[in-house]
Amino acid sequence: MRYYDKLIFELSHPGRTGYTLPESFCGEFAAETAIPDSLFRKAPLDLPEVSEVDVVRHYTNLSQMNFGVDTGFYPLGSCTMKYNPKINEEIASHPLFAGLHPLQPADTVKGAQEVIDGLDAALAAITGMKHFTFLPCAGAHGELTGLMLMREYHLARGDAARTKVIVPDSAHGTNPASAAVCGLEIVEVKSGVDGLVDVEALKPLLGPDIAGIMMTNPNTLGLFERQIGEIAKLVHECGGLLYYDGANMNPLLGKVRPGDMGFDIMHLNLHKTFSTPHGGGGPGSGPVGVGERVLEYLRIPRTSGFHGNFGVMLRAYAYILMLGKENVKLAGPLATLSANYIKESLKDAYKLPIPTVCKHEFVFDGLINDGAREGKAGASTLDVAKRLLDYGFHAPTIYFPLLFHQALMIEPTETESLETLDEFIAVMHKIAEEAAEDPDILHGAPHNAPIGRPDETTAARNPILKA
Ligand SMILES: *Cc1c(COP(=O)(O)O)cnc(C)c1O
């Protein structure tokens, strides 16, 4: 073990400090500020005592044990982990934006309001919605907001019986979860063998109890729902609304608009499609857009926490303006090309359950030859994912969607070079060869990551969050 791999408590040395604080100025007010004895700590806090340089090295080393978009290729499906231009970070952290106070008088924040209005107009043009609210702080939060708007729409029309929402079996997990939180009952609609929503299976589900349907297009398998026009017609005819999950809008930018497909309500994940780095839990921004039908239910004001996660909005606006109308249209085709290139290059080694052209992402169902033989278990999708870490790539999304037992869901995005894609393809082939020769190499992976393979079930069920 290297010296700085130790816990910071192990680096502690009594009396060593990295700071000096000024004398407390509270002394003279001690009588007024007297804290009751009962509230005082009985023993000193057990904090590590280390010098400044030890602290810096501790955190820098920790940061290097992590994997991020800035360290390598991150093909996580249904997540859009792409490289985000650093200029957007610079703009978002500009003191004239970052220093705004939420309680400033409205007439001193006109510039910020102009950014929000400009972003609203740009997103409306991109999606075919009328207006957006910037209240929601993440995708799932947007889903909940959108579903509440859906409910409001029906209640205002005296249509209280509409308590069910249809969700395809390929949907992102947050869709049924948000519907449940909103108090709606979930009705699942099955996909056909082609991975698309089966219109014949949808028809019998439609009726006077249906509030609407939640969909994403391309769907979570990366496939374009070609019958969306027919689906929209059927749902509207039955009195329901269409909700669009636009968390991963890359493949459609500037090409196809959810509004034109017939969707009434949608959310975007600015922290996926519009250039805010995500992963690690935020901050995010999940603005909700509405079409004509629902416009009157959109609340005023349309920003939250005073102005929402404004830094995320700034990045999105800078990104859209910098690309411009023409270049924004390139993101989709490039993301689609990257995904199809990987899919076609690897289908000789990995099972491809749906062999059609995909959009921004696609799903393999494990290895064709997983090396299983008498007395030897084959390599699983988890094994492939762990082995990728040894070669310096982040793993794709695994075991999701639930339609396939060994799902390996790959989304390269539009920002990776051909060389990076080729390197990834070569490594995936190498891993397939290793599995065929000796799957134990994969069972034991990762071999050279900072930690080996934790027991994920125990870690999830009995998390030990302190040393
Ligand atoms: C990421 C994602 C969500 C949820 O967004 P959060 O910001 O993580 O809440 C919803 N739907 C899809 C398709 C997603 O990829």
Residue 80, phi then psi, degrees to nearest 5: 45, 65
Q: How far lies 39's CA from each of 32, 34, 303, in Å? A: 16, 11, 39
Instruction: Encode 380-409: b = buried (16+ Cβ within 10 Å), e = exposed.
Output: bbbbbbbbbbbbebbbbbbebbebbebbbb
Q: Does the C-beta of 303 come closer than 6 Å to ligand 1?
A: no
How many whole angstroms separate alpha carbon 37 and alpha carbon 33? Answer: 12
Residues 252 and 68: their CA atoms lie apart, in Å, by: 25
Q: Tell me: the pLDDT tens digits for 404-456?
A: 999 999 999 999 999 999 999 999 999 999 999 999 999 999 998 888 888 88
Q: Could you tell me if the CB of 434 is within 6 A of ligand 1?
A: no
Query: What separation in angstroms does the CA of 72 have from each of 69, 75, 393, 423?
Result: 5, 10, 6, 11
Alpha carbon distance 398, 318 (integer Å): 33
pLDDT at 30: 62
The rounded Å distance from CA 137 to ligand 1 centre is 11
Give the residues of the chain that fall short of pLDDT 70: 1, 25-33, 280-282, 303-307, 467
Find, among 386, 334, 381, the residue nearest to 360 by Cα.
334
Pairing relation of β-strands 241-246 and 210-215?
A: parallel
Q: What does the pLDDT read at residue 21?
A: 78
CATH of domain 86-324: 3.40.640.10
Ligand 1 atom closest to the CA of 138, numbered from 1: 7
**Residue 128 Cα, ligand 1 centroid: separation in angstroms?**
20
How confident is the model at residue 33, as a pLDDT? 67
Supply 252's token pair.
């459609």
**Which residues, at least 6 apart from 173, have a Cβ–Cβ distance to it below 8 Å?**
400
Going from N- to C-terminal start, the domains of the chain cover 3-65, 86-324, 332-461
Considering the four listed CATH numbers 3.90.1150.10, 3.30.70.1230, 3.40.50.10700, 3.30.750.80, the one that applies to the domain covering 332-461 is: 3.90.1150.10
User: Whose alpha carbon is nearest atom 4 of ligand 1?
Assistant: 139
Query: H or E segment at 59?
Result: helix 52-64
Question: Which pLDDT does position 429 carry in this prediction?
Answer: 98
Burial 67-79 (b: 16+ CB within 10 A, else e): bebeeebbbbbbb
For residue 376, report the distance from its CA to the centre of ligand 1, in Å: 38
Q: Is the pTM of this model over 0.75?
A: yes
Q: Determine if ligand 1 sits within 6 Å of the CB of residue 217.
A: no
Is 145 a pocket residue for ligand 1 (Cβ < 6 Å)? no
Q: Which atom of ligand 1 is nearest to the CA of 79?
A: 15
CA dist 213 → 140, 165, 184, 243 (Å): 16, 5, 11, 6
Instruction: Specify the pLDDT at position 13.
Output: 94
Rounded to whole angstroms, the Cα distance separating 217 from 256 reads 10
Sign of the CA dihedral 298, 300, 305, 309? positive
Q: Sign (positive/negative) of CA torsion 41, 46, 49, 55?
A: negative
> What tokens appear for 283 in the block?
């901050």
pLDDT of residue 451: 84
Distance between CA atoms of residues 287 and 246, nearest Å: 10
Q: Which helix (H) or strand (E) holds 105?
A: none
CB 266 within 8 A of CB 241: no
pLDDT score recorded for residue 306? 65
Alpha helices in 391-463 (DSSP H): 418-437, 440-443, 456-461
Gap between the Cα atoms of 296 and 185, Å rounded: 25
Q: Which of 379, 342, 345, 433 is nearest to 73 (CA)?
A: 342
Rg (CA), the chain: 26
